[in-house]
Amino acid sequence: MELLSAINGVVWGPLGVGLLAAAGLWLTVRTGWFQLTRLPLWLGQTLGAILRRSPDLAREDAGSISPLQSLCTALGATIGTGSIVGVGAALISGGPGGIFWMWVTAFFGMMTAYAENLLGLRYRQYRAGSWHGGPMYYLSAGVGALPRGRLAGRVLAGTFALLCVLASFGIGNLSQVNAIAASLEGAFGLPPALTGAALALVTALVLLRGMKGVASAAGRLVPFMAVFYLAGTALVVLTHADALPAAFGSIFRGAFGLRAAGGGAVGYGMAAAVQWGSMRGSFSSEAGLGSSAIASGPASTREPARQGMWGIFQVFVSTFLVCTMTALAMLTTGLVDLDTGRMLSPAPAPDLAGEAFSAALGPLGPGFVAGAVLLFAWSSVLGWSQYGAECWAYLFGPGTVWAYRLAFLALILPGATAGFTAAWALSDTFNGLMMLPNLAGLFALSGQVAEETRQYLRRLDQSG
């Protein structure tokens, strides 16, 4: 644990947070503040297409999945326990001000995710009968094509793929399964070992169908779980609407150290708010990790910039909707002293959401949260199993993916019974390390992102 804490202190300290912010800011500037200036465009191409039930969303070509399945796979992997448990951890360690920095991270992270998804589609490759994409491809082919970049591209691609495989065991397996087991044990008294065994079985049934199985399951699961959870959080917040002004005040005061941070962290102030808010913001949206670009590779979309807009939408849903509603539910129900920012509840992070929902749903609250954690975390397990499999195939060939999937399934049971702190510490470590080669590639290819965006907007203007 001391080693993990030391590594996390570096990659999630000023260096890592600064690189993440710089990448998002640089891409935002290079694309003309696209997430703001083109807000109607990207909302129309994403949310608008969903509401219109555009037939393009369900189109599948040979060796591909539909754009909607790609979105749901990425959202399923993104909206994991970070959207529930991670928000509680940010409040405990960074105070309410951490939520503000989570928003800031997500705002600039929108363009990081945009660039990742754009490049993921642009540099995808057709191998073994299907499309494959992600940072390992745009690092090797994109960075590798730059002057004197061949060796650097290969090294960055291989490093990213290896770290993604390791991260899939942490953020995509151990931490998610651990949160499910802890939540179900707290709400219903289910033994963690039983939960782990059941999860291993149902996950194996999905993975038997490979990419198509994961995409199909995500396409059915994600829309339901998002509506289910947002409706529940809206009920909690609306029944405590009188506390909303104080909740927002606590967030903004805490963001700049004007009040003490969370319980046990008094005196951390702004530094803790920035660190924990940025870290949990990255965990919940995954912008900067490059992971969602892997789901973009097999999408039947042919326009890289349009696929990039789905990256913006993913961050919008995961952080600005799901995480914000979770935070407001916790802040408006008396778990935090809104004047000082101190935690009033002694509950650990996995139990905070249950306490918040109990304020509105009574004894049904913990059960509701347990159900939400089960849906969110299992969808994340499925998505990350595919991310890890893609990176494993890049490193060792498609014919060896069965070995990765066996290892992934074997970790589910110990993930359910391991300590919560160890699982989350591992996730934070692999998140941070995985981010570094991806950000290097995004900086190097930012000019291509800007040019692809300009060309798309020019074609759009000419066709309109």
Q: Using the predicted structure, report yes or no on whether residue 85 has a pLDDT greater than 80.
A: no
Question: What band does 158 get if pLDDT is binned at 50, 70 and 90?
Answer: very high
Q: What is the pLDDT of residues 276-320, one digit of tens each?
A: 777 777 667 788 889 889 988 888 788 899 999 999 999 999 899
Residue 236 lies in a domain: no
Q: Using the predicted structure, report yes or no on whether residue 171 has a pLDDT greater than 60.
A: yes
Q: Which amino acid is at 102?
A: M
Residue 176 lies in a domain: yes
pLDDT, position 30: 97
Q: Using the predicted structure, report yes or no on whether residue 359 has a pLDDT greater than 50.
A: yes
pLDDT, position 53: 78
DSSP 8-state symbol, 131: E
Question: What band does 86 get if pLDDT is binned at 50, 70 and 90?
Answer: confident
448-460: burial string, b at 16+ Cβ within 10 Å, e else: bbbebbeebbeee
334 phi and psi angles, rounded to 5 deg: 85, 15
pLDDT, the chain, mean: 86
Residue 361: which region, alpha, beta or left (left: phi > 0; alpha: psi -120 to 50)?
alpha
Q: Using the predicted structure, report yes or no on whether residue 206 has a pLDDT greater than 70.
A: yes
Helix (H, G, I), strand (E, B) or coil at 336: strand
Residue 52 lies in a domain: yes
With the C-alpha atoms ordered 40, 43, 45, 49, is the resulting torsion angle positive or negative?
Answer: negative
Q: What is the mean pLDDT of residues 367-394?
A: 90
Residue in 284, 238, 245 with CA at minimum distance from that of residue 377? 284
Dihedral over alpha carbons 119, 121, 125, 127 (to 10 degrees): 140
* Burial class (CB within 10 angstroms; exposed 0-12, middle 13-18, buried 19+) of 383: buried
Higher pLDDT, 404 or 295: 404
Residue 162 lies in a domain: yes
Q: Using the predicted structure, report yes or no on whether residue 237 has a pLDDT greater than 90.
A: yes
Question: What band does 2 get if pLDDT is binned at 50, 70 and 90?
Answer: confident
Packing angle between helix 67-78 and helix 210-239, nearest 10 degrees? 60
Q: Using the predicted structure, report yes or no on whether residue 202 has a pLDDT greater than 80.
A: yes
pLDDT, position 420: 54
115-141: burial string, b at 16+ Cβ within 10 Å, e else: bbbbbbbbbbeeeeebbbbbbbbbbbb
- Please tell me the distance from the alpha carbon of residue 311 to that of residue 293, in angstroms, as a whole number: 8
Q: Do 31 and 450 form a contact (C-beta atoms < 8 A)? A: yes
Residue 336 lies in a domain: no
Question: What band does 419 get if pLDDT is binned at 50, 70 and 90?
Answer: low
Q: What is the mean pLDDT of residues 200-214?
A: 87
Residue 245 lies in a domain: no
Residue 152 lies in a domain: yes
Helix (H, G, I), strand (E, B) or coil at 397: coil
Q: What is the pLDDT of residues 329-340, one digit of tens each?
A: 999 998 888 888
pLDDT, position 265: 43
Domain with 443, as residue range(s), is 2-90+98-218+286-316+362-463
Quick count: other Cβ atoms within 10 Å of Cβ 203?
22
Q: What is the pTM of this model?
A: 0.90
- Please, which residues have CB within 8 angstroms of residue 441's CB and are 6 or more apart in sequence? 119, 135, 138, 139, 142, 143, 156, 160, 290
Percentage of residues of the chain with pLDDT beyond 70: 92
Higher pLDDT, 59 or 6: 6
Residue 207 lies in a domain: yes
Total domains in the fold of the chain? 1
Most confident of 117-131, 150-164, 256-270: 150-164
The tokens describing 228, both together, are: 């289910």
Q: Which of 2-16, 21-35, 147-161 has the lowest mean pLDDT?
A: 2-16
DSSP 8-state symbol, 55: G
With the C-alpha atoms ordered 39, 40, 45, 46, is the resulting torsion angle positive or negative?
Answer: positive
Q: What is the mean pLDDT of residues 433-459?
A: 95
- Please tell me the distance from the alpha carbon of residue 376 to that of residue 266, in angstroms, as a whole number: 32
Q: What is the mean pLDDT of residues 86-104?
A: 85
